[in-house]
Amino acid sequence: MDLLVVGAGLFGLTVAQRCASELGLRVTVIDSRPHPGGNAWSTRDPETGIEVHRYGSHLFHTSNDRVWTYVNRFTGFTDYRHRVYTVHRGEVFPMPINLGTINQFFRSAYGPDQARALIAAQAADEAQATGGTPDESLESRAVSLIGRPLYEAFIRGYTAKQWQTDPAHLPASVISRLPVRYNYDNRYFGDTHQGLPVDGYGAWIERMIDHPSIDLRLDTDFFADGPFGRAATRGRVPIVYTGPIDRYFDHAAGRLGWRTLDFETTIEPVGDFQGCSVMNYADADVPYTRIHEFRHLHPERQHSPDATVVAREYSRFATDSDEPYYPVNSPADRDRLLRYRALATAEPQVKFGGRLGTYRYLDMHMAIASAFTLVDTELVPKFYPGRRMI
Ligand code: FDA
């Protein structure tokens, strides 16, 4: 073994694939889960044949041509374009907030300029009410961007459910911007390249690791005893570690905060449950944040007319035994992260990467691009300087 990769998510697999195929290295990849692909994994549900995204809907989108060319080596993509809707007080609105949402909500027929003026006036009303010095809460930031009526309808309850905290008590940093589109475009992503892998993420990922120099070991935890565990490998072989950075250092600087999700997955005896792949629920009195209906991710496939797989998504803070999904990123977390980064620089044989290893939310294309950078700028110069890319 020339390189050990801990974690078979898209970051770890991209590193492994490139090191095996372009550098000729023998790479072992371990993952504690029974499948590769990390959170992006999808397979066909055995009962209905519907492609189910086990960790929530994963939409591939990128404007990075190098990433797009790379992933197309392993899979074709459908022309799926993601569109999301939201239920508020028994009515369905298009998301993200656009001219359709505004006109439906205000029972109006505004053009773009009128709608822009209305939202600006509502945001200004709020600034006047608070004396022009809004506090630094998420609520005050959101209201200053989109006005109170839209905030109360579409942001407040949804955000409170995501964070189990009233947005008046959340820091403004949780949202950087709240896009409002003054046209009727409700495509969720604006990237140049979008789609879903034609035969699912599982098939894509299996082709990615189908290489004679990649040895994949599933159900293998880095912190357990054994030939690929930390005790046996640390200092003996270069390691790319994509698990949680605080776990690597035995939580020496404290635990980093994460939010997790619970999915309540059911098979409903109908051909179409909600008419779209993701329906958000904006109101606080509905306990889940959204419902995924996976058949709509592949409208090009033939599906059963009387069974559909749906998953209700619930959000909460993660405990030790939960899957970490989204970094909480509180000031205390940022402090701890700095201490872990300092510890990481003292581990020259280990490179930390991926969303868990860097404590950063990464979309799939960002994980792949960041793996490219790690291989090109760190692994090759440091560990394999004599190797020429094949
Ligand atoms: P990832 O978490 O995928 O992989 C890390 C792997 O390390 C896991 O398989 C884990 O089991 C393993 N591991 C951890 N500790 C270990 C240990 N001790 N020993 C062995 N293995 C260990 N992106 C996007 O582009 N579009 C989208 O629509 C979505 N949707 C989405 C929904 C939800 C709910 C989440 C949480 C995330 C998304 N994403 C997304 C993001 C995407 O899932 C993810 O961030 C990237 O695939 C990142 O890949 P990584 O390899 O960094 O992490």
Q: What is the pLDDT of residues 355-381, one digit of tens each?
A: 999 999 999 999 999 999 999 998 888
Q: What is the pLDDT of residue 135?
A: 65
> Where does CATH 3.40.50.720 sit in the chain?
3-78+197-255+328-383
Give the separation between CA 208 and CA 74, rounded to whole angstroms.
6
What token pair was written down for 300? 């090009």
Average pLDDT over residues 214-227: 96
Q: What is the pLDDT of residue 102?
A: 97
Arithmetic mean of pLDDT over the chain: 93
How confident is the model over 292-350, as pLDDT tens digits?
A: 999 999 999 999 899 999 999 999 999 988 989 999 888 899 999 999 999 999 998 99
| 300 is known as an active-site residue | no
Percentage of the residues of the chain whose pLDDT score is greater than 90: 82
The residue among 60, 77, 1, 3 whose CA lies nearest residue 374 is 3
Q: What is the pLDDT of residue 384?
A: 76
Q: What is the pLDDT of residue 134?
A: 59
In one-letter notation, the amino acid at residue 265 is: T
Instruction: Out of 12-16, 124-128, 190-194, pick the least confident.
Output: 124-128
Closest residue by Cα to atom 2, ligand 1, is 38
Q: What is the pLDDT of residue 136?
A: 80
Hey, is 153 helix, strand or coil?
Answer: helix
Is domain 3-78+197-255+328-383 given the CATH code 3.40.50.720 in the classification? yes
The answer, yes or no, to whether residue 57 has pLDDT greater than 90, is yes
Average pLDDT over residues 187-215: 96
Distance 271 CA to ligand 1 centre (A): 31
Give the separation between CA 365 and CA 374, rounded to whole angstroms.
14
The answer, yes or no, to whether residue 389 has pLDDT greater than 70, is no
Q: What is the pLDDT of residue 170?
A: 85
Hey, is 148 helix, strand or coil?
Answer: helix
Q: What is the pLDDT of residue 85?
A: 97
pLDDT class for 32, splitting at 50, 70, 90? very high
The answer, yes or no, to whether residue 287 has pLDDT greater than 70, is yes
Closest residue by Cα to atom 53, ligand 1, is 9
Give the ipTM of the model, two decimals please. Answer: 0.98
The answer, yes or no, to whether residue 131 has pLDDT greater than 80, is no
Higher pLDDT, 157 or 126: 157
For the Cβ of 355 lying below 6 angstroms from any atom of ligand 1, the answer is: yes
| 54 is known as an active-site residue | no
For the Cβ of 55 lying below 6 angstroms from any atom of ligand 1, the answer is: yes
On the CB side of 310, CA atoms within 13 Å amount to: 19
| 116 is known as an active-site residue | no
Q: Edge to edge, what strands does the sheet with 214-217 contain? A: 214-217, 27-30, 3-6, 239-241, 350-352
Distance 356 CA to ligand 1 centre (A): 8
**Per-residue CA distances from 12 to 6, 54, 353, 381 (Å):** 7, 19, 8, 18
Q: What is the pLDDT of residue 47?
A: 94
| 290 is known as an active-site residue | yes
Give the separation between CA 384 and CA 390, rounded to whole angstroms.
13
pLDDT class for 390, splitting at 50, 70, 90? low
Closest residue by Cα to atom 29, ligand 1, is 58
pLDDT class for 388, splitting at 50, 70, 90? low
For the Cβ of 259 lying below 6 angstroms from any atom of ligand 1, the answer is: no
For the Cβ of 40 lying below 6 angstroms from any atom of ligand 1, the answer is: yes
Give the separation between CA 13 and CA 38, rounded to whole angstroms.
10
CA dihedral 31, 32, 38, 42 (to 10 degrees): 110
Q: What is the pLDDT of residue 141?
A: 86
CA dihedral 369, 375, 377, 383 (to 10 degrees): 170
Q: Tell me whether strands 239-241 and 3-6 are parallel, antiparallel or unpaired.
A: parallel
Average pLDDT over residues 268-276: 97
pLDDT class for 252, splitting at 50, 70, 90? very high
How confident is the model over 161-170, as pLDDT tens digits?
A: 998 888 888 8
Average pLDDT over residues 75-94: 97
Higher pLDDT, 127 or 289: 289
Give the separation between CA 263 and CA 351, rounded to whole angstroms.
32
The answer, yes or no, to whether residue 387 has pLDDT greater than 70, is no
Average pLDDT over residues 210-234: 96
